Chain A
């Protein structure tokens, strides 16, 4: 199956700093999704991207669907302690996120030092 390279693997930052993470693929995806997993819970959808070049915000979070359709970026501005968790990207070959054809990155662990 397809593989996603998600980086960085982990980040140690100070509260208030901005955060950037990304996912890249050797193949084209038609949908990019970003999830966050809090400790002891399941992943929760943050942002869904369906069009190359699309830039979408959700509060302090902004994600972009790369123009080549082979990458996506997630930025968090002015980090706060509750941003701690694991962030997953996921790419889908189709338009959406269901069924087969969905590939997850290995996650970025975000740790915030007050």
Chain B
């Protein structure tokens, strides 16, 4: 099993550009999450989804949008990238009451 797969692994954007980060899981998990990791800040929840077609805001949702059209995929979009969105983004998935399984991250730099 691949587990949680994130694409791309690295990306450089210019301020104002848009992009979509892709997350796919093959564990049939109901819940999926997007976190960002910044030095000294730990992991902060951006958005999450408790099932296909549903999404909810986390701790730091501003500037991001998400969609869960299929159970196995969770997309994170940046409509107009800003330097403050330079970070490492992690996708995770889980059953409703089980620990999270994380992907290996996408390193995004916004110049």
Contact = CB atoms under 8 A, between A and B. Distances in A.
A42 interface: yes
A13 interface: no
A98 B98 contact: yes
Contacts of A73: none
A104 B60 CA distance: 14
Interface residues of A, number: 23
Contacts of B101: 45
Contacts of A44: 102
| Interface size grouping (class) on chain B | 20 to 34
Nearest to A107: B42
Nearest to A43: B102
Interface string B86-102: 00001010111111111
B102 A99 contact: no
Contact of B97 (A40, A45, A95): A95
A80 to B, nearest CB: 23
A57 B41 CA distance: 28
A97 B105 contact: no
Given A42-B4, A94-B97, A106 B42 contact: yes
29 contacts: A33-B99, A35-B102, A40-B105, A41-B105, A42-B4, A42-B102, A42-B105, A43-B90, A43-B100, A43-B102, A44-B102, A88-B42, A94-B97, A96-B98, A96-B99, A97-B98, A97-B100, A98-B96, A98-B97, A98-B98, A99-B31, A99-B48, A99-B94, A99-B96, A100-B58, A102-B45, A104-B42, A105-B42, A106-B41
Interface of A: 1, 33, 35, 40-45, 48, 88, 94-100, 102, 104-107
- Going nearest first, the 7 A-B pairs with the smallest beta carbon separation are A96-B97, A42-B102, A97-B99, A106-B42, A98-B94, A104-B43, A42-B104
